[in-house]
Amino acid sequence: GDSGNAASQLAARVRAAKDFAPMLVKWMDVDSDGALSQSELQWVTSAHARMKQSLKELTRDIFDAMDADADDSISLQEIEAAMAPAVLGKVVSLLEAGFPVPSLSASAALTAEHVASLLSLVDSDADGSVGRKEAYRAVASFKKQFLEAATLLETMGPMLAVFG
């Protein structure tokens, strides 16, 4: 019945949030101590509010900053070029303004490996470059996963604190 369907939907949401949680916790854990402080947890609430708004403009701006030849595709060469201080600084500034990730703000340790691994997740057709549509699809998927994980964390967080 409806209660079985609701339970299965909740179970699916919990699984999705658990799968997404390690990445979310890594971003939130500014001091890399493996635990989340109260201030680090507060980031979820502010990010949740920001995430409800469209990330399309931020995605476009970051994509444009990295797409040096404006061909609507970010090649491996453009990814490597994006590690140059001027481009990387612009990307980090855009991120900090639009979606401030605590661990990113806390260090300048964004490396070519981080960017390459992130872009490999976005490169859905595995052609070695990221098209604008791939970037938008990836951001939409991330947004959905983040909102579900953040909602669960905000809802269940107080209970988890009480029950350990």
CA-wise closest residue to 68 among 57, 82, 52:
82
| Percent of the chain predicted with pLDDT > 70 | 66
Q: Hey, which of 6-15, 37-46, 87-96, 145-154 has the most confident mean pLDDT?
A: 87-96
The amino acid occupying position 36 is L
Q: How far apart are CA 120 and CA 28, in angstroms?
A: 22
| Percent of the chain predicted with pLDDT > 90 | 10
Q: How far apart are CA 99 and CA 49, in angstroms?
A: 10
pLDDT at position 164 over 50: no
The amino acid occupying position 87 is V
CA distances from 8 to 14, 52, 112, 147, 160 (A): 10, 25, 40, 19, 21
What DSSP character marks residue 41? H
Give strand pairing partners of 74.
Answer: 130
Stretch 70-76: mean pLDDT: 92
Stretch 48-59: mean pLDDT: 75
Tens digits of residue pLDDT in 113-150: 666 677 777 888 888 888 999 988 888 888 888 777 77
Strands (E), the chain: 73-74, 130-131
